[in-house]
Amino acid sequence: MPLPAMESMTPPQRAAAQALIDGPRKGVFGPFLPLMRSPVLLERVARVGEYLRFESVLDARIRELATCAAARHVGNQFEWHMHAPLAAKAGVDAGAIDALRQGARPASGLKEDEALALDFALELLRTNGSSELTYERALRAFGEQGVVELTTLVGYFVMVNWLMNVAHTPAQASAGADMTPFPL
């Protein structure tokens, strides 16, 4: 689903697009292309995403690594190519990111809190929940608010990844072709 032409947008669509352009994202792309078909939903989804990405109590390394785990699990090229560089920039080990890209749980390179967050995210993605042990470890590391935000972040990115998979939103043109295709 491409971005609707400006002249065919309804006033609510134009307002939603302008809010994205004026906000921290600085443009309309990714999941917001299909969400343009429902501007009120777009605005609400965007606000949740802005909080999780830019204001969460979780460190940027944790947020970006969990986002990459969700993108890899759901097989979404757009979010992977958007967030893998952000994870590296935030300080996540490049070898660990590459292992995740290949579908493996990184055996080395992760800091203790990163490994814990990744284990929590992967367990959540695999089982739709967490064991008591994983939950208790996450609670000790991130606190109640952090666990709630980590869980919500994973769910948010699964949701927008699903939306882009259904809408066939392509990876960004700058992503290159060096990535092993994800199974869809």
Could you tell me which CATH class the domain 57-175 is placed in?
mainly alpha
pLDDT tens digits for range 81-115: 999 999 999 999 999 999 999 999 999 999 999 99
Whole-structure pTM over 0.75, yes or no? yes
pLDDT tens digits for range 13-56: 989 888 888 888 888 888 988 999 999 999 999 999 999 999 99
Q: Taking phi first (over 0 means left), then psi (-120 to 50 degrees means alpha), and beta for anything else, what does residue 135 get?
A: alpha
Do the beta carbons of residue 13 and residue 36 sit within 8 Å? yes
